[in-house]
Structure 1
C-alpha cells in the first residue's frame, strides 16, 4: 500500500510536538537517570529506618514513556531481603522467612500460592504464627496476599488512610506502592518466553540472555476467578519489561506514547458514551 505524501510531514510535526511535550531523547534519558537515582536514595532511606529492602521504580514515569497529558502514576516496588522464595525444598535457608511456590493444573496462569516454612527447620509451617498466614483446605499453611496487604496498611497506619489499587497499598495519591517478594530463580514462564523469542529480529540475543538471569517478583494480586484469589500471588517480570523498554530507540518510544494517547482517548470517549 502506498503511503500518502502528507504522512511524512505529519510524522515530523508529531515528533516535534512530542519533543516539546517531554518525549525528546534528552528528556527521556534524564527521566530514567532520575528514577534510577531515586531507587538508590529510597533504598538508603529504608535502611536507615531498619528495613532491609530493595526499591525499584517501574512503569512509564521511570521508563520515560509518558508526557504530562497522560497523568501517569509513579510506581514503586519494594521487596524484602529477609524473605526467601523457593521452588524446591533444597533452597531453604535458616533464619529468614521461607516460602515455597505452589501451583497445580487448576492454578490460573502466572499465579502462585506461597507455602510457609519454619524459620529454623526445613519443614512446612503447621501453625498460624502470624496474621498473614491462612490454612488451606489441605492443611497447608499459606502466606496470604490479601492478609499481607492488610498488614502493610496497618503497619504504616500512621501515614494515613491506605489507598488500595490492585497489588498496591499506598498512602500517597498518584503513587502505586507494591510490597512484593523477590524470585531469584528462573521460572517456566520466563523460559517459555525466551524460547518464543529465539531466532527473531527483536529482542536481540544479548537482551534475551540478560532476561534469562533477571529476577522476577511475586506481587500480592490473585486471579478474580480463582478459588484462592485472596491467597494467590501474581508473577511479575518487571525487570525484564524494563530491559525491553530501555532497548527502544526514541522513535519507538514516541510511537509507544502515541498509542497510549490513542488508548486513553478511546476509553474516554467510550466512558462518555456509556
Structure 2
C-alpha cells in the first residue's frame, strides 16, 4: 500500500483556528480497478469499473473478476448478497468496515476518543490508473479556457484516480456504488493558485465556520467552497485575482455559493455531472442558510469583522482603527524551521519504533538478523534515491540496538570478543542525538557493573544536554505538545541543516526490546510487562511499543546517575540526582512517558525507605495512564512489603 496526503494542511490553505485534519488516503495496491478488459493483470484482485445510466454520476460499480483469467467471477447460486440484476458479482463498498479501533464517517475511518491521542482520519481507497469516462468530459470542456492552462490540463489528464467506499445517498445501488476521487488533480490545481486565490478560499472557510457550521454542521462543506472557488477562477481572467482585489474576489465567490445553495446545484469541478449539493438541504434549513449567506454576501465588510476564528475580526478592526499589530519578520520562517526539524525527529523515532516492535518478541539471533536486513534494505533504497542522511540516521539507531542485543546475550558468558563487537556497534549510535544512544551504552556498562565507565558517559551527557535548548522527542504515540523553547526555535531558524542539528538539540526516548533485557536496569524491565490480560482490551494495534521498555531520555539520565552514585557511595550526588528526577517530571511539559518516569522515581523512593512518597508516585503514574501501566505491580509489591514488615 501507499499513503498519500491531501487536504488543507498539504495545500497550505488553513490556519490554526480552522483546526483542519490531516487527510490521508491509503491506496491498496493489490487491487486493480480497470475500465477495459485489456488492463486485466494476472494474480491481482481485478475489478471492472461499470458506469452507466443506472449508476449515480461521479460513482461506479466494481465487478469482481477472476485473478487467473480475464473473465467474470462466477457467483454461487445461493449467494444473492453480492449479485446485481444482471447476475454480475459486485464488490460492496462496506468491505473496509470493522477496521480495528476506527469509526466510519462516509468513506473515512477515524481514530476518535482515545485519551491522549489526536483524532485522525484516513480513507481506504483502490487505485484507478486511467481517468474514468465521466472525468474525461472535463478535459474537452476546458481545452479553450485560459485556466487551467493547457499544461495544467495535460498534467491532470495523466494523474491517477481512486475509488473510495461510499455510495450516493438514496441511490438504488448505494451499497454497491464507489465514489470516484480526483484528489491528485485537485491537489495539483490548488498548488497552482496564487496568494489571493488562497486567501479567498481561507476566508470562505472562516466565514463558513463562523456563520454556517455551528448552526448547520452538515450543510455546506469546505470541499464545496473549494469547488466554487475553482469554478470562479476558471471563468474569470487571471489578472482579476490580485492582492488589491481580494475583497471583490471574495464577494464573487460568496455570490456563486449563494446561487449554488439556492438552486441546490454545485457541479463537481472534474465530474460535472456529479451535483455535490443534491439532497443536501432540507426544506426547513435551506431558507435559514440562504438568509445567512445573503447577510455575509451583502454585508461582507461587517461579516469579516465578526469572524472569531484566529481572532481575525479583532485584528481587522484594529487595523481599520489605525492600530499597528506587530508580528516579527522572522516569526513564520522560525515556525516553519522548528516544525520541520521536529517532524524529522519524530518521523525517525516512529520509523525506528516500527522496526523494533517487529523484532521485540524474537530470539536474540533472529532479532539481530532482521535488524541487519532492515539496515541492508535501507542502504539499497537510500543509495538509489541518494538520501544518505536519512539512511545514516536510521541505521545508527538500529546499530545501537544491535550492540545492546549482542551484549545482553553474552553478559554472563564473559565473551570478550562478543563484547568488543557489541561495543563497536553501539559506538556507531552515539551521535544520533544528545542522549539516547549514549544512555544505552551507559546502561550496558551499568548492567555489567562497570560504574567508572558508566559515570564517564553520564558526565559526557551532562555536558552536552543544554536544558535551555534540548527538547524531548517521543514518537510512540500522538499527544498534545506544549510550545517548544525559544532557544530551540532560534537554533532551528539559524541552521539550514536539520540532520546535523538533530544530534545537538533533540533527545528521543530510550527504548529497550525484550532481547536487550540484560542491558536494561531491573527497575525499567517491569515496563516490558506492563499489560495484564485485562489491559490488552484497552490497547490498539499502534500500542505495540507497550511491550518494550520506553522512557524519556532526561529522567532516565538522572535515574542512572542516582543508581550509579548509590553504588559509588556518593550520597550528596545521589540525592541531587533524585531531586532532578522529580523536578524534571514536574517542569518538562513534553515528556511522552511521564508515567514511566514516576515509576522509576517511586522505586528510588522505596530504596530510600520513603514508602509514602513511593506510593504517591505510583498513584500519580496511574492518573496519567490508568491502563497498561506497571505502577499496578509496583503498588502490589509495595503493599506486600509494608504488610509483611
CA contact (8 A) 1:165 1:176 kept: no
Q: State whether structure 2 residue 88 is matched by structure 1 residue 149.
A: no
Distance 1:121 1:271 in 2: 51
> C-alpha displacement at 1:125, in angstroms?
0.9
Q: 2:38 aligns with which of 64, 83, 90?
A: 90
CA contact (8 A) 2:75 2:87 kept: no
CA contact (8 A) 1:145 1:220 kept: yes
Distance 2:214 2:23 in 1: 26
Query: Which residue is 1:122 aligned to?
Result: 70
Q: State whether structure 2 residue 140 is matched by structure 1 residue 191.
A: no
TM-score by length of 2: 0.31
Matches within 5 A, 1:66-81: 66-81=14-29
Could you list the runs of 5+ residues in structure 1 that have no partner in the other structure? 1-52
> C-alpha displacement at 1:269, in angstroms?
5.7
Question: Closer, same or farther in 2 for the Cα pair 1:174/1:198, shift >3 Å?
Answer: farther
Q: 2:146 aligns with which of 191, 194, 201?
A: 201
CA contact (8 A) 2:84 2:90 kept: yes
Distance 2:35 2:216 in 1: 43
Structure whose residues are more often helix by fraction = 2
Residues 203-228 of structure 1, C-alpha deviation per residue, up to 9 Å, x if partnerless?
A: 11111100011111111110012111
Distance 1:123 1:269 in 2: 51
Runs of 4+ in 1 over 4 A off after TM superposition: 271-274
Q: State whether structure 2 residue 112 is matched by structure 1 residue 165.
A: no
Query: Which residue is 1:262 aligned to?
Result: 207
Distance 2:204 2:22 in 1: 20
CA contact (8 A) 2:93 2:165 kept: yes
Q: 1:217 aligns with which of 140, 152, 162?
A: 162
Distance 1:232 1:190 in 2: 17
Question: Closer, same or farther in 2 for the Cα pair 1:192/1:139, shift >3 Å?
Answer: same
Residues 73-98 of structure 1, C-alpha deviation per residue, up to 9 Å, x if partnerless?
A: 11110111111111112211111100
CA contact (8 A) 1:80 1:181 kept: yes
Query: Which residue is 1:176 aligned to?
Result: 121
> C-alpha displacement at 1:103, in angstroms?
2.2
Structure whose residues are more often strand by fraction = 1
Q: State whether structure 2 residue 243 is matched by structure 1 residue 243.
A: no
> C-alpha displacement at 1:64, in angstroms?
0.9
> C-alpha displacement at 1:102, in angstroms?
0.9
TM-score by length of 1: 0.72
Question: Closer, same or farther in 2 for the Cα pair 1:269/1:85, shift >3 Å?
Answer: closer
Distance 1:271 1:143 in 2: 34
Distance 1:89 1:251 in 2: 45
Distance 1:186 1:270 in 2: 38
Q: State whether structure 2 residue 81 is matched by structure 1 residue 139.
A: no
Could you list the runs of 5+ residues in structure 2 that have no partner in the other structure? 113-117, 218-284, 289-645
CA contact (8 A) 1:63 1:245 kept: yes
Residues 144-172 of structure 1, C-alpha deviation per residue, up to 9 Å, x if partnerless?
A: 112x122xx34xx2xx2x21111012325
What SS is found at the alignment partner of 1:149?
A: coil
CA contact (8 A) 1:185 1:215 kept: yes
Distance 2:19 2:158 in 1: 33
Q: Which has the higher contact order (CA 8 A, sep 6+)?
A: 1
Computing the radius of gyration over CA atoms, which structure comes out larger, 1 or 2? 2
> C-alpha displacement at 1:104, in angstroms?
1.8
Q: Root-mean-square deviation (CA), in Å?
A: 2.1
